[in-house]
Amino acid sequence: MTTIMMRRADRPAEDRRLSAEWEPQSAVMLTWPHADSDWADTLAAADRTFAAIAAAISHHQTVLVTLARSAERERVEAALQEAGADRAHVRFANAPSDDVFVRDHGPLTVATSHGLKLLDFSFNGWGRKYPYQRDDALTRTLYEQGAFGHIPREAVDFVLEGGSIDSDGAGTLLVTASCLLAPTRNPQHTRADIEAILAAQLGAQRILWLHHGYLAGDDTDGHIDTLARFCDPATIAYCACPYADDEHYPALQAMEQELKTLRTADGQPYRLVPLPWPSAKLANDGTRLPATYANFLILNGAVLVPTYDDSKDTEALAILSACFPGRRIIGIPCLTLIAQHGSLHCVTMQIPAGVLT
């Protein structure tokens, strides 16, 4: 049964609020792929995909591109030019990295009574599944270089990935128990401890826990941003599998039933929007990959949606267009990303307005 937490915990001296993704942004971060990583064999294709993402963002706001080494800039500049990026809105920084999934190793920015603050949570490679030390240090490295201007950084001794939480901007977080309670993240903490930490650090007043939901090939133990997302304070878009013979059917049907029990802060049922179910995408070894349309990115005036060269792509774009009236809907081909078990939202991290000027 899904539990809603409505309890207050001891908090820092200032009130805190984690904004919703649809609120004004100053930039989106990208950690660019490089040859000293799992992207070595597909680097040219990865460059094209990342350049397409960066170009789309650059026509709406700033892109902060982190390169593993300055020598890569010429190659990346060429890819950006080919993709039609607005170079006036692209900034570069240098920091060593293990992988590209900045959603999980980038900062979470909170508004406080003393101004904005960058929270630098610990990152441990999704439960020590992969190398992570360079990624864990990336936010600190960029901060020390002045990449975030004068916004203060606070290190938080707690493992938390940005893809594991979704905020409505008004004190409600949507999370999965499979990820936040995984013993490989914070084994010393109970569920009550975790709730108190999220309340203290992010200003969470309610936590909506999902106990069902599953994507084959997912390395994150069930990140919420692959399964269900707030589109506004009263709307949740979610993965829906209508095929009884698909291995995902039982878990996603159970998740749908859980979502129907959730209520907004004023006690109303959420407007639930099922997303299309793409055909199976397979790795070279035949294993299934976690393709999901829930992994979209909201920008100032636009929404980037992952596409998979699938017959359901057009339907997904249309459904999300209805969820975000007034925003341009832009499809981004993401087969190269999904081959590394991530997608569009996973490789981006928005920075709220007021951080980069």
List, by residue number, the catalytic residues. Answer: 346
Backbone angles phi, psi at 209, to 5 degrees: -95, 125
Instruction: Give every CB contact of residue 107 below 8 A, 6+ residues apart in sequence.
Output: 118, 119, 120, 139, 148, 153, 349, 351
Contacts 24+ apart (CB under 8 A), 75-80: 75/47, 76/32, 76/47, 76/51, 79/47, 79/48, 79/50, 79/51, 80/51, 80/54, 80/55
CB 233 within 8 A of CB 170: yes
Q: Which of 239, 305, 229, 323 is nearest to 278 (CA)?
A: 239
Instruction: Provide φ and ψ at 97, rounded to 5°.
Output: -145, 155
Report the amino acid identity of residue 36: D
Compute the distance between CA of residue 206 and CA of residue 4 in angstroms, rounded to an integer. 6
Tell me if 214 sits within 8 A of 258, measured CB to CB: no
Give Cα 343 to chain centroid, integer Å: 9
How many CA atoms are closer than 13 Å to the CA of 14, on its beta-carbon side? Answer: 11
Cβ atoms within 10 A of the Cβ of 2, count?
A: 16
- The span from the CA of 159 to the CA of 123, in Å, is 5
The Cα 139–Cα 118 span in angstroms is 9
